[in-house]
């Protein structure tokens, strides 16, 4: 029984494992912003300013300030990222999201990315939102960062870097070989 309880807690508390239907469709980014707080988590489409306010600011601002991305990778990203729209699906409850999302913002800021091309979707532990914004995105772990070029998904970063966040994203936007740790 103790092993079952331990396994249950591990699965429940992890930032992964939830199924959703796979589709390449785009979410309508002009849809009305839907934010809901449930047990201390943001849900739905959110904005950076939401993360810069308490209770999220304590981890977001610290993670942003502490991150120092490599200059060479930032240059590669800056040279290649303007053709991409990005969706970040994350959970404010998830340690992996709390670690990576502030870094993503710092990296995009340093690469002069047009933040109008960035969408943030906050999910619950089941990787869902009240308005089903995650539908068709095949999100099983968070954070998931999906890169679109000409309306098509090119690649995605999932949960943790293979090398470093900046190296992984530099590979994605320069269309080098990159496979996230969960790709089949």
Q: Please list, in sequence order, all residues whose beta carbon lies within 8 angstroms of the beta carbon of residue 102, skipping any fewer than 6 positions away.
A: 51, 59, 60, 61, 62, 63, 64, 67
Q: What is the pLDDT of residue 83?
A: 95
User: For each of the chain's 184 residues, which pLDDT tens digit applies?
Assistant: 454 444 444 444 457 654 332 332 333 332 333 344 446 799 999 999 999 999 999 999 999 999 999 999 999 999 999 999 999 999 999 999 999 999 999 999 999 999 999 999 999 999 999 999 999 999 999 999 999 999 999 999 999 999 999 999 999 999 999 999 998 7
Classify 47 as helix, strand or coil.
coil
Nearest to 103 by CA among 77, 129, 84, 128: 77
Q: For every residue of 90-113, which 3-state class applies, written as one string?
A: ECCCCHHHHHHHHHHHHHHHHCCC
Q: What is the pLDDT of residue 111?
A: 97
Helix intervals (H) in 14-121:
48-51, 57-66, 71-80, 95-110
Query: Domain-by-domain residue ranges, the chain?
Result: 2-173
Q: What is the pLDDT of residue 16?
A: 66
Question: Residues 128, 136: contact at Cβ < 8 Å?
Answer: no
Q: What is the pLDDT of residue 19?
A: 36
Domain at 2-173, CATH from 3.40.50.300, 3.40.50.2300, 3.40.30.10, 2.40.110.10: 3.40.30.10
DSSP string, 145-161: EEEEETTEEEEEEESS-
pTM equals 0.81
């Amino acid at each position: 029984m103790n092993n079952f309880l331990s396994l249950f807690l591990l699965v429940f508390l992890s930032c992964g494992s939830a199924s959703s239907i796979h589709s390449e469709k785009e979410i309508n980014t002009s849809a009305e912003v839907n934010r809901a707080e449930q047990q201390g988590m943001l849900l739905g489409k959110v904005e950076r300013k939401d993360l810069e306010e308490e209770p999220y600011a304590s981890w977001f601002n610290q993670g942003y300030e502490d991150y120092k991305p490599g200059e060479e990778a930032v240059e590669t990203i800056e040279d290649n990222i303007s053709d991409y729209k990005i969706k970040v699906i994350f959970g404010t409850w998830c340690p992996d999201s709390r670690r990576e999302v502030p870094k993503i913002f710092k990296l995009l800021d340093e690469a002069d990315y047009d933040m109008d091309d960035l969408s943030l979707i906050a999910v619950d532990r089941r990787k869902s939102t009240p308005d089903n914004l995650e539908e068709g995105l095949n999100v099983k772990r968070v954070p998931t960062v999906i890169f679109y070029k000409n309306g098509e998904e090119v690649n995605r970063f999932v949960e943790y870097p293979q090398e470093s966040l900046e190296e992984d994203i530099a590979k994605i936007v320069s269309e080098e070989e990159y496979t996230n740790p969960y790709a089949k």
